[in-house]
Structure 1
Amino acid sequence: MPEVISAVLAQEGLVWLIFGTFIAGVVRGFTGFGTALVFLPIAGLVLPPVQALVVLVVMDLIGAAPNLPRAVRDGHPGKIALMLAGALIALPVGLMVLFSVRPELFRYAVSGIALLAPALMAAGFRLTRPLGPGLLFGTGVLSGFLGGISGLAGPPVILLYMASNLPTQAIRGNIMSYLSAFGLLMIGVLAVQGRFFPEAALIGLLLAVPNLLGNLAGAAMFRPERAKLYRATGYAIITASALAGLPLWD
Protein backbone atom coordinates (compact mmCIF):
# COMPACT_ATOMS: atom_id res chain seq x y z
CA MET A 1 0.00 0.00 0.00
CA PRO A 2 2.78 2.58 0.73
CA GLU A 3 4.11 1.98 -2.78
CA VAL A 4 0.66 2.64 -4.24
CA ILE A 5 0.31 5.87 -2.25
CA SER A 6 3.76 7.02 -3.37
CA ALA A 7 2.83 6.31 -6.99
CA VAL A 8 -0.36 8.35 -6.60
CA LEU A 9 1.46 11.35 -5.13
CA ALA A 10 4.06 11.13 -7.91
CA GLN A 11 1.38 11.05 -10.62
CA GLU A 12 2.32 13.30 -13.52
CA GLY A 13 -0.02 16.26 -13.92
CA LEU A 14 -1.58 15.83 -10.45
CA VAL A 15 -1.89 19.60 -9.98
CA TRP A 16 -3.82 19.91 -13.24
CA LEU A 17 -6.06 17.03 -12.21
CA ILE A 18 -6.85 18.76 -8.92
CA PHE A 19 -7.64 22.04 -10.67
CA GLY A 20 -9.82 20.35 -13.29
CA THR A 21 -11.62 18.38 -10.60
CA PHE A 22 -12.54 21.49 -8.62
CA ILE A 23 -13.87 23.31 -11.70
CA ALA A 24 -15.81 20.20 -12.72
CA GLY A 25 -17.35 20.07 -9.24
CA VAL A 26 -18.43 23.71 -9.42
CA VAL A 27 -20.12 23.12 -12.78
CA ARG A 28 -21.83 19.96 -11.46
CA GLY A 29 -22.97 21.76 -8.32
CA PHE A 30 -24.82 24.58 -10.05
CA THR A 31 -26.01 22.87 -13.23
CA GLY A 32 -26.46 19.24 -12.15
CA PHE A 33 -24.10 17.97 -14.85
CA GLY A 34 -20.68 18.56 -16.36
CA THR A 35 -18.24 16.62 -14.19
CA ALA A 36 -17.17 14.18 -16.90
CA LEU A 37 -17.47 16.76 -19.69
CA VAL A 38 -15.01 19.04 -17.88
CA PHE A 39 -12.77 16.47 -16.19
CA LEU A 40 -12.19 13.76 -18.81
CA PRO A 41 -10.59 15.97 -21.50
CA ILE A 42 -8.08 17.10 -18.84
CA ALA A 43 -7.62 13.62 -17.36
CA GLY A 44 -6.98 12.21 -20.83
CA LEU A 45 -3.84 14.32 -21.02
CA VAL A 46 -2.14 12.41 -18.19
CA LEU A 47 -4.05 9.15 -17.55
CA PRO A 48 -4.78 6.03 -19.64
CA PRO A 49 -8.48 5.76 -20.61
CA VAL A 50 -9.62 3.08 -18.15
CA GLN A 51 -7.77 4.68 -15.24
CA ALA A 52 -9.37 8.02 -16.12
CA LEU A 53 -12.81 6.37 -15.88
CA VAL A 54 -12.02 4.82 -12.48
CA VAL A 55 -10.78 8.16 -11.14
CA LEU A 56 -13.88 9.91 -12.46
CA VAL A 57 -16.48 7.60 -10.95
CA VAL A 58 -14.78 7.40 -7.53
CA MET A 59 -14.25 11.12 -7.06
CA ASP A 60 -17.61 12.08 -8.56
CA LEU A 61 -19.62 9.73 -6.35
CA ILE A 62 -18.06 11.24 -3.22
CA GLY A 63 -18.02 14.82 -4.48
CA ALA A 64 -21.67 14.86 -5.51
CA ALA A 65 -22.94 13.01 -2.39
CA PRO A 66 -23.97 16.12 -0.37
CA ASN A 67 -26.25 17.29 -3.20
CA LEU A 68 -27.77 13.87 -3.87
CA PRO A 69 -30.60 13.83 -1.25
CA ARG A 70 -32.03 17.05 -2.68
CA ALA A 71 -31.61 15.72 -6.21
CA VAL A 72 -33.55 12.54 -5.38
CA ARG A 73 -36.36 14.55 -3.80
CA ASP A 74 -36.62 16.84 -6.82
CA GLY A 75 -36.35 14.04 -9.41
CA HIS A 76 -38.23 10.90 -10.45
CA PRO A 77 -36.44 7.73 -9.21
CA GLY A 78 -38.71 5.35 -11.14
CA LYS A 79 -37.77 6.91 -14.47
CA ILE A 80 -34.10 6.93 -13.49
CA ALA A 81 -34.31 3.19 -12.84
CA LEU A 82 -35.73 2.63 -16.33
CA MET A 83 -32.81 4.48 -17.93
CA LEU A 84 -30.32 2.54 -15.80
CA ALA A 85 -31.80 -0.72 -17.06
CA GLY A 86 -30.98 0.38 -20.61
CA ALA A 87 -27.52 1.54 -19.57
CA LEU A 88 -26.75 -1.83 -17.96
CA ILE A 89 -27.26 -3.56 -21.31
CA ALA A 90 -25.06 -1.21 -23.33
CA LEU A 91 -22.28 -0.30 -20.87
CA PRO A 92 -20.29 -3.58 -21.23
CA VAL A 93 -20.45 -3.22 -25.02
CA GLY A 94 -19.07 0.31 -24.87
CA LEU A 95 -16.28 -0.77 -22.52
CA MET A 96 -15.37 -3.62 -24.86
CA VAL A 97 -14.87 -1.05 -27.65
CA LEU A 98 -12.83 1.20 -25.35
CA PHE A 99 -10.46 -1.62 -24.38
CA SER A 100 -9.62 -2.21 -28.04
CA VAL A 101 -8.73 1.33 -29.17
CA ARG A 102 -5.63 3.50 -28.78
CA PRO A 103 -5.58 6.21 -26.04
CA GLU A 104 -5.46 8.95 -28.70
CA LEU A 105 -8.81 7.80 -30.06
CA PHE A 106 -10.25 7.92 -26.54
CA ARG A 107 -9.14 11.53 -26.22
CA TYR A 108 -10.59 12.48 -29.59
CA ALA A 109 -13.88 10.80 -28.69
CA VAL A 110 -14.06 12.54 -25.30
CA SER A 111 -13.23 15.98 -26.69
CA GLY A 112 -15.53 15.51 -29.69
CA ILE A 113 -18.53 14.56 -27.55
CA ALA A 114 -17.71 17.32 -25.06
CA LEU A 115 -17.70 19.88 -27.90
CA LEU A 116 -20.87 18.56 -29.49
CA ALA A 117 -22.92 18.31 -26.30
CA PRO A 118 -23.01 22.04 -25.40
CA ALA A 119 -23.85 22.94 -29.01
CA LEU A 120 -26.81 20.55 -29.01
CA MET A 121 -27.95 21.72 -25.57
CA ALA A 122 -27.75 25.38 -26.59
CA ALA A 123 -29.75 24.71 -29.78
CA GLY A 124 -32.92 24.85 -27.72
CA PHE A 125 -34.64 21.70 -29.05
CA ARG A 126 -37.83 20.91 -27.15
CA LEU A 127 -39.84 17.70 -26.83
CA THR A 128 -43.54 17.91 -27.58
CA ARG A 129 -44.45 14.55 -26.05
CA PRO A 130 -44.11 13.02 -22.57
CA LEU A 131 -41.03 11.08 -21.50
CA GLY A 132 -42.44 7.61 -22.11
CA PRO A 133 -40.85 4.28 -21.11
CA GLY A 134 -39.46 3.56 -24.59
CA LEU A 135 -37.78 6.95 -24.85
CA LEU A 136 -36.31 6.67 -21.35
CA PHE A 137 -35.02 3.11 -21.91
CA GLY A 138 -33.51 4.04 -25.29
CA THR A 139 -31.81 7.07 -23.78
CA GLY A 140 -30.32 4.79 -21.14
CA VAL A 141 -28.98 2.43 -23.81
CA LEU A 142 -27.28 5.29 -25.66
CA SER A 143 -25.96 6.70 -22.40
CA GLY A 144 -24.53 3.34 -21.36
CA PHE A 145 -22.75 2.85 -24.67
CA LEU A 146 -21.27 6.36 -24.70
CA GLY A 147 -20.33 5.98 -21.03
CA GLY A 148 -18.44 2.82 -21.89
CA ILE A 149 -16.48 4.10 -24.87
CA SER A 150 -15.74 7.58 -23.50
CA GLY A 151 -16.90 7.91 -19.88
CA LEU A 152 -19.45 10.50 -21.04
CA ALA A 153 -22.73 8.90 -20.05
CA GLY A 154 -24.37 12.24 -19.36
CA PRO A 155 -25.04 13.94 -22.73
CA PRO A 156 -28.00 11.78 -23.88
CA VAL A 157 -29.71 12.11 -20.49
CA ILE A 158 -28.91 15.82 -20.21
CA LEU A 159 -30.24 16.52 -23.70
CA LEU A 160 -33.42 14.54 -22.97
CA TYR A 161 -34.25 16.36 -19.78
CA MET A 162 -33.24 19.80 -20.97
CA ALA A 163 -35.56 19.32 -23.97
CA SER A 164 -38.45 18.43 -21.65
CA ASN A 165 -40.96 20.82 -20.09
CA LEU A 166 -40.08 19.81 -16.53
CA PRO A 167 -39.22 22.45 -13.90
CA THR A 168 -35.56 23.38 -13.50
CA GLN A 169 -35.30 21.66 -10.11
CA ALA A 170 -36.67 18.39 -11.53
CA ILE A 171 -34.33 18.51 -14.52
CA ARG A 172 -31.32 19.11 -12.29
CA GLY A 173 -32.45 16.45 -9.80
CA ASN A 174 -33.00 13.76 -12.43
CA ILE A 175 -29.66 14.39 -14.12
CA MET A 176 -27.71 14.38 -10.86
CA SER A 177 -29.47 11.24 -9.60
CA TYR A 178 -28.85 9.36 -12.84
CA LEU A 179 -25.17 10.29 -13.06
CA SER A 180 -24.52 9.18 -9.48
CA ALA A 181 -26.34 5.88 -10.04
CA PHE A 182 -24.47 5.35 -13.30
CA GLY A 183 -21.19 5.83 -11.43
CA LEU A 184 -22.08 2.93 -9.13
CA LEU A 185 -23.01 0.87 -12.17
CA MET A 186 -19.67 1.66 -13.81
CA ILE A 187 -17.74 0.61 -10.68
CA GLY A 188 -19.62 -2.68 -10.56
CA VAL A 189 -18.99 -3.53 -14.22
CA LEU A 190 -15.29 -2.57 -14.06
CA ALA A 191 -14.84 -4.60 -10.87
CA VAL A 192 -16.40 -7.68 -12.48
CA GLN A 193 -14.06 -7.23 -15.45
CA GLY A 194 -11.02 -6.88 -13.19
CA ARG A 195 -10.27 -3.33 -14.32
CA PHE A 196 -11.04 -1.37 -11.15
CA PHE A 197 -7.40 -0.43 -10.54
CA PRO A 198 -6.44 0.47 -6.92
CA GLU A 199 -4.01 3.23 -7.94
CA ALA A 200 -6.72 4.97 -9.96
CA ALA A 201 -9.24 4.50 -7.14
CA LEU A 202 -6.81 6.18 -4.71
CA ILE A 203 -6.34 9.10 -7.09
CA GLY A 204 -10.13 9.32 -7.22
CA LEU A 205 -10.29 9.43 -3.42
CA LEU A 206 -7.68 12.20 -3.36
CA LEU A 207 -9.53 14.20 -5.99
CA ALA A 208 -12.82 13.72 -4.15
CA VAL A 209 -11.79 16.51 -1.77
CA PRO A 210 -11.51 19.32 -4.39
CA ASN A 211 -14.49 17.83 -6.21
CA LEU A 212 -16.56 17.93 -3.03
CA LEU A 213 -15.53 21.54 -2.37
CA GLY A 214 -16.42 22.46 -5.94
CA ASN A 215 -19.82 20.78 -5.66
CA LEU A 216 -20.59 22.61 -2.44
CA ALA A 217 -19.54 25.93 -3.96
CA GLY A 218 -21.63 25.33 -7.07
CA ALA A 219 -24.68 24.25 -5.08
CA ALA A 220 -24.42 27.36 -2.91
CA MET A 221 -24.55 29.49 -6.07
CA PHE A 222 -27.55 27.66 -7.55
CA ARG A 223 -30.73 29.70 -7.96
CA PRO A 224 -33.55 28.30 -10.16
CA GLU A 225 -34.30 31.74 -11.61
CA ARG A 226 -30.72 31.98 -12.93
CA ALA A 227 -30.76 28.66 -14.78
CA LYS A 228 -29.90 30.20 -18.17
CA LEU A 229 -26.82 31.94 -16.77
CA TYR A 230 -25.59 28.73 -15.13
CA ARG A 231 -26.07 26.72 -18.29
CA ALA A 232 -24.23 29.29 -20.41
CA THR A 233 -21.33 29.33 -17.96
CA GLY A 234 -21.24 25.52 -17.89
CA TYR A 235 -21.24 25.35 -21.70
CA ALA A 236 -18.30 27.74 -21.90
CA ILE A 237 -16.23 25.79 -19.34
CA ILE A 238 -17.01 22.45 -21.00
CA THR A 239 -16.01 23.80 -24.43
CA ALA A 240 -12.73 25.20 -23.12
CA SER A 241 -11.89 21.90 -21.41
CA ALA A 242 -12.72 19.90 -24.55
CA LEU A 243 -10.50 22.08 -26.73
CA ALA A 244 -7.63 21.83 -24.25
CA GLY A 245 -7.90 18.04 -24.22
CA LEU A 246 -7.53 17.52 -27.97
CA PRO A 247 -4.40 15.52 -28.94
CA LEU A 248 -3.70 18.19 -31.58
CA TRP A 249 -1.81 20.24 -28.98
CA ASP A 250 0.62 17.47 -27.97
Structure 2
Amino acid sequence: MRGYSGFGTAVILAPVYSLLWEPRAGVPVMLLMELLVSLQLLPGAIKDADRRVVLPLGGAAAVATPLGAWILLTADGEALRRFIGGFVLAFGVLLMSGWRYHGSRPLSLNLAVGTAAGLLKGSTGMSGPPVILYLLAGLEEAKRHRANLILFFASIAVISVVPPFLGGLIDAAVWLRLAVLLPVMAISVPIGVRLFRVIPDRLYRPFAMGVLLVAGGLALFG
Protein backbone atom coordinates (compact mmCIF):
# COMPACT_ATOMS: atom_id res chain seq x y z
CA MET A 1 0.00 0.00 0.00
CA ARG A 2 2.71 2.50 0.88
CA GLY A 3 4.67 1.93 -2.30
CA TYR A 4 1.54 2.07 -4.42
CA SER A 5 -0.44 4.94 -2.92
CA GLY A 6 2.08 6.89 -0.83
CA PHE A 7 0.21 6.13 2.39
CA GLY A 8 -0.91 3.13 4.40
CA THR A 9 2.02 2.19 6.63
CA ALA A 10 0.72 3.68 9.86
CA VAL A 11 -3.03 3.21 9.39
CA ILE A 12 -2.55 -0.52 8.86
CA LEU A 13 0.38 -1.25 11.17
CA ALA A 14 -0.58 0.97 14.15
CA PRO A 15 -3.80 -0.93 14.99
CA VAL A 16 -2.30 -4.35 14.27
CA TYR A 17 0.90 -3.77 16.25
CA SER A 18 -1.07 -2.16 19.09
CA LEU A 19 -3.15 -5.32 19.29
CA LEU A 20 -0.10 -7.60 19.21
CA TRP A 21 2.10 -5.73 21.67
CA GLU A 22 -0.03 -2.81 23.09
CA PRO A 23 0.51 0.77 21.83
CA ARG A 24 3.63 1.75 23.80
CA ALA A 25 5.43 -1.31 22.42
CA GLY A 26 3.91 -1.41 18.92
CA VAL A 27 3.86 2.26 17.90
CA PRO A 28 7.67 2.73 18.18
CA VAL A 29 8.24 -0.24 15.83
CA MET A 30 5.87 1.30 13.31
CA LEU A 31 7.48 4.75 13.63
CA LEU A 32 10.94 3.35 12.86
CA MET A 33 9.57 1.45 9.87
CA GLU A 34 7.86 4.64 8.69
CA LEU A 35 11.13 6.57 8.94
CA LEU A 36 13.06 4.05 6.88
CA VAL A 37 10.41 3.59 4.19
CA SER A 38 10.09 7.39 3.87
CA LEU A 39 13.80 7.62 3.15
CA GLN A 40 13.36 4.84 0.59
CA LEU A 41 10.54 6.62 -1.29
CA LEU A 42 11.47 10.29 -0.97
CA PRO A 43 14.11 10.62 -3.74
CA GLY A 44 11.67 9.47 -6.43
CA ALA A 45 8.81 11.69 -5.24
CA ILE A 46 10.23 15.02 -4.10
CA LYS A 47 10.35 16.57 -7.59
CA ASP A 48 6.62 15.92 -8.14
CA ALA A 49 5.37 17.26 -4.79
CA ASP A 50 3.67 20.63 -4.20
CA ARG A 51 6.06 21.98 -1.58
CA ARG A 52 4.05 25.20 -1.09
CA VAL A 53 1.26 23.15 0.48
CA VAL A 54 3.15 20.21 1.95
CA LEU A 55 5.98 21.95 3.81
CA PRO A 56 3.66 24.07 6.07
CA LEU A 57 1.69 20.89 6.80
CA GLY A 58 4.87 19.04 7.71
CA GLY A 59 6.28 21.91 9.75
CA ALA A 60 3.15 22.24 11.90
CA ALA A 61 2.98 18.47 12.33
CA ALA A 62 6.62 18.33 13.44
CA VAL A 63 5.97 20.95 16.14
CA ALA A 64 2.83 19.17 17.43
CA THR A 65 4.24 15.63 17.38
CA PRO A 66 6.07 15.84 20.76
CA LEU A 67 2.83 16.92 22.46
CA GLY A 68 1.06 13.94 20.97
CA ALA A 69 3.89 11.73 22.21
CA TRP A 70 3.11 12.83 25.76
CA ILE A 71 -0.31 11.18 25.29
CA LEU A 72 1.37 7.96 24.16
CA LEU A 73 3.62 7.98 27.23
CA THR A 74 0.84 8.67 29.75
CA ALA A 75 -2.47 7.31 28.38
CA ASP A 76 -3.98 3.96 29.33
CA GLY A 77 -2.74 1.39 26.80
CA GLU A 78 -6.05 -0.42 26.39
CA ALA A 79 -8.02 2.80 25.87
CA LEU A 80 -5.44 4.04 23.37
CA ARG A 81 -5.54 0.76 21.43
CA ARG A 82 -9.31 0.95 21.10
CA PHE A 83 -9.12 4.60 20.06
CA ILE A 84 -6.62 3.67 17.34
CA GLY A 85 -8.91 0.90 16.08
CA GLY A 86 -12.01 3.09 16.08
CA PHE A 87 -10.19 5.93 14.38
CA VAL A 88 -8.91 3.69 11.58
CA LEU A 89 -12.38 2.22 11.10
CA ALA A 90 -13.92 5.70 10.84
CA PHE A 91 -11.17 6.78 8.43
CA GLY A 92 -11.76 3.74 6.23
CA VAL A 93 -15.50 4.40 6.13
CA LEU A 94 -14.90 8.05 5.18
CA LEU A 95 -12.59 7.03 2.34
CA MET A 96 -15.09 4.46 1.08
CA SER A 97 -17.89 7.05 1.18
CA GLY A 98 -15.94 9.26 -1.23
CA TRP A 99 -16.01 12.28 1.12
CA ARG A 100 -13.14 14.75 0.74
CA TYR A 101 -12.46 18.33 1.75
CA HIS A 102 -13.23 20.48 -1.29
CA GLY A 103 -12.40 24.00 -0.11
CA SER A 104 -9.33 26.17 -0.63
CA ARG A 105 -5.95 25.52 1.00
CA PRO A 106 -4.89 28.75 2.78
CA LEU A 107 -1.80 28.76 4.97
CA SER A 108 -3.87 28.91 8.18
CA LEU A 109 -5.76 25.74 7.25
CA ASN A 110 -2.54 24.00 6.20
CA LEU A 111 -1.12 24.75 9.66
CA ALA A 112 -4.31 23.57 11.43
CA VAL A 113 -4.42 20.26 9.53
CA GLY A 114 -0.69 19.77 10.10
CA THR A 115 -1.12 20.36 13.85
CA ALA A 116 -3.92 17.79 14.06
CA ALA A 117 -1.79 15.33 12.10
CA GLY A 118 1.19 15.89 14.43
CA LEU A 119 -0.88 15.27 17.56
CA LEU A 120 -2.11 12.01 16.03
CA LYS A 121 1.41 11.06 14.93
CA GLY A 122 2.87 11.45 18.38
CA SER A 123 0.08 9.67 20.23
CA THR A 124 -0.89 6.87 17.82
CA GLY A 125 1.79 6.80 15.11
CA MET A 126 -0.83 7.84 12.50
CA SER A 127 -0.55 11.31 10.98
CA GLY A 128 -2.15 10.30 7.69
CA PRO A 129 -5.95 10.41 8.06
CA PRO A 130 -6.53 14.20 8.25
CA VAL A 131 -3.80 14.90 5.69
CA ILE A 132 -5.00 12.24 3.27
CA LEU A 133 -8.60 13.49 3.36
CA TYR A 134 -7.31 17.06 2.94
CA LEU A 135 -4.79 16.50 0.14
CA LEU A 136 -6.77 14.00 -1.93
CA ALA A 137 -9.55 16.57 -2.40
CA GLY A 138 -7.69 18.42 -5.13
CA LEU A 139 -7.86 17.89 -8.87
CA GLU A 140 -4.19 16.98 -9.17
CA GLU A 141 -3.20 13.81 -10.94
CA ALA A 142 -2.49 10.67 -8.93
CA LYS A 143 1.27 11.17 -9.32
CA ARG A 144 1.10 14.55 -7.55
CA HIS A 145 -1.16 13.22 -4.79
CA ARG A 146 1.21 10.35 -4.12
CA ALA A 147 4.30 12.62 -4.11
CA ASN A 148 2.63 15.08 -1.71
CA LEU A 149 1.87 12.31 0.77
CA ILE A 150 5.38 10.85 0.57
CA LEU A 151 6.98 14.28 1.17
CA PHE A 152 4.66 14.99 4.11
CA PHE A 153 5.38 11.69 5.84
CA ALA A 154 9.11 12.13 5.26
CA SER A 155 9.04 15.65 6.71
CA ILE A 156 7.90 14.40 10.13
CA ALA A 157 9.44 10.93 10.18
CA VAL A 158 12.61 11.93 12.03
CA ILE A 159 10.97 14.03 14.75
CA SER A 160 8.38 11.33 15.41
CA VAL A 161 10.95 8.81 16.69
CA VAL A 162 12.66 11.25 19.08
CA PRO A 163 10.05 11.34 21.91
CA PRO A 164 9.70 7.52 22.12
CA PHE A 165 13.50 7.25 22.16
CA LEU A 166 13.84 9.82 24.96
CA GLY A 167 10.93 8.23 26.81
CA GLY A 168 12.63 4.84 26.87
CA LEU A 169 10.11 3.11 24.60
CA ILE A 170 12.67 2.11 21.95
CA ASP A 171 14.32 -0.83 23.69
CA ALA A 172 15.95 -4.10 22.61
CA ALA A 173 12.57 -5.72 21.90
CA VAL A 174 11.68 -2.90 19.49
CA TRP A 175 14.97 -3.27 17.62
CA LEU A 176 14.51 -7.04 17.41
CA ARG A 177 10.99 -6.70 15.97
CA LEU A 178 12.25 -4.07 13.54
CA ALA A 179 15.06 -6.37 12.37
CA VAL A 180 12.54 -9.13 11.62
CA LEU A 181 9.89 -6.95 9.95
CA LEU A 182 11.95 -4.41 8.03
CA PRO A 183 13.22 -6.79 5.31
CA VAL A 184 9.61 -7.69 4.49
CA MET A 185 8.73 -4.02 4.04
CA ALA A 186 11.93 -3.31 2.10
CA ILE A 187 10.86 -5.94 -0.44
CA SER A 188 7.19 -4.93 -0.48
CA VAL A 189 7.63 -1.19 -1.08
CA PRO A 190 9.30 -1.54 -4.52
CA ILE A 191 6.58 -4.01 -5.50
CA GLY A 192 3.98 -1.38 -4.60
CA VAL A 193 5.85 1.23 -6.64
CA ARG A 194 5.73 -1.05 -9.67
CA LEU A 195 2.03 -1.73 -9.15
CA PHE A 196 1.38 2.04 -9.12
CA ARG A 197 2.69 2.19 -12.67
CA VAL A 198 0.51 -0.60 -14.06
CA ILE A 199 -2.69 -1.05 -11.97
CA PRO A 200 -5.56 1.49 -12.20
CA ASP A 201 -6.70 3.08 -8.95
CA ARG A 202 -10.26 1.79 -9.48
CA LEU A 203 -9.01 -1.78 -9.02
CA TYR A 204 -6.78 -1.06 -6.05
CA ARG A 205 -9.09 1.10 -3.90
CA PRO A 206 -11.56 -1.64 -2.79
CA PHE A 207 -8.68 -3.84 -1.63
CA ALA A 208 -6.93 -1.00 0.21
CA MET A 209 -10.10 0.13 1.97
CA GLY A 210 -10.89 -3.44 2.96
CA VAL A 211 -7.48 -3.80 4.59
CA LEU A 212 -8.06 -0.59 6.58
CA LEU A 213 -11.42 -1.80 7.86
CA VAL A 214 -10.00 -5.18 8.91
CA ALA A 215 -7.01 -3.60 10.68
CA GLY A 216 -9.19 -1.10 12.53
CA GLY A 217 -11.71 -3.76 13.51
CA LEU A 218 -8.98 -6.03 14.93
CA ALA A 219 -7.64 -3.25 17.18
CA LEU A 220 -11.08 -2.06 18.28
CA PHE A 221 -12.71 -5.42 18.97
CA GLY A 222 -9.74 -7.76 19.39
TM-score, structure 1 normalization? 0.80
SS at match of 1:46: helix
Identical aligned residues as a percent:
24
Give distance in 2, aligned partners of 1:101 and 1:117.
22
Cα 1:198–1:79 change in 2 (3 A) is: farther
- For 1:184-217, what per-residue CA distance to the aligned partner results, in whole angstroms no more than 9, with x for missing partners? 1101233344443343134223311101111111
> Are 1:29 and 1:64, in contact at CA under 8 Å, matched by a contact in 2?
no
Query: In the alignment, is residue 40 of structure 1 matched against residue 24 of structure 2?
Result: no
Q: 1:97 is matched with which residue: 56, 71, 76?
A: 71
Report the residue type matching 2:16 in the other structure.
Answer: I
Query: In the alignment, is residue 52 of structure 1 matched against residue 26 of structure 2?
Result: yes
Instruction: Give the drift of 1:232.
Output: 2.4
> Are 2:22 and 2:81, in contact at CA under 8 Å, matched by a contact in 1?
no
> Are 2:53 and 2:110, in contact at CA under 8 Å, matched by a contact in 1?
yes
Give distance in 1, aligned partners of 2:65 and 2:153.
13
Q: 1:173 is matched with which residue: 147, 153, 157?
A: 147
Instruction: Give the drift of 1:38.
Output: 1.1
For structure 2, list consecutive stretches of 5 or more residues without a partner in the other structure. none
Deviates more, 1:159-168 or 1:62-71: 62-71
Q: 2:128 is matched with which residue: 137, 150, 154?
A: 154
> Are 1:63 and 1:209, in contact at CA under 8 Å, matched by a contact in 2?
no
TM-score, structure 2 normalization? 0.89
Instruction: Give the drift of 1:47.
Output: 1.5
Report the residue type matching 2:27 in the other structure.
Answer: L
Deviates more, 1:117-126 or 1:103-112: 117-126
Query: In the alignment, is residue 125 of structure 1 matched against residue 104 of structure 2?
Result: no
Deviates more, 1:186-195 or 1:161-170: 186-195
Give distance in 1, aligned partners of 2:208 and 2:164.
29
Aligned residues: 222
SS at match of 2:139: coil
What residue is the counterpart of 2:36 in the other structure?
Answer: 62
What residue is the counterpart of 1:12 in the other structure?
Answer: none
For structure 1, list consecutive stretches of 5 or more residues without a partner in the other structure. 1-26
Instruction: Give the drift of 1:134.
Output: 1.2
Query: In the alignment, is residue 85 of structure 1 matched against residue 59 of structure 2?
Result: yes
Report the residue type matching 1:140 in the other structure.
Answer: G
Give distance in 2, aligned partners of 1:191 and 1:215.
25
Give distance in 2, aligned partners of 1:70 and 1:156.
24
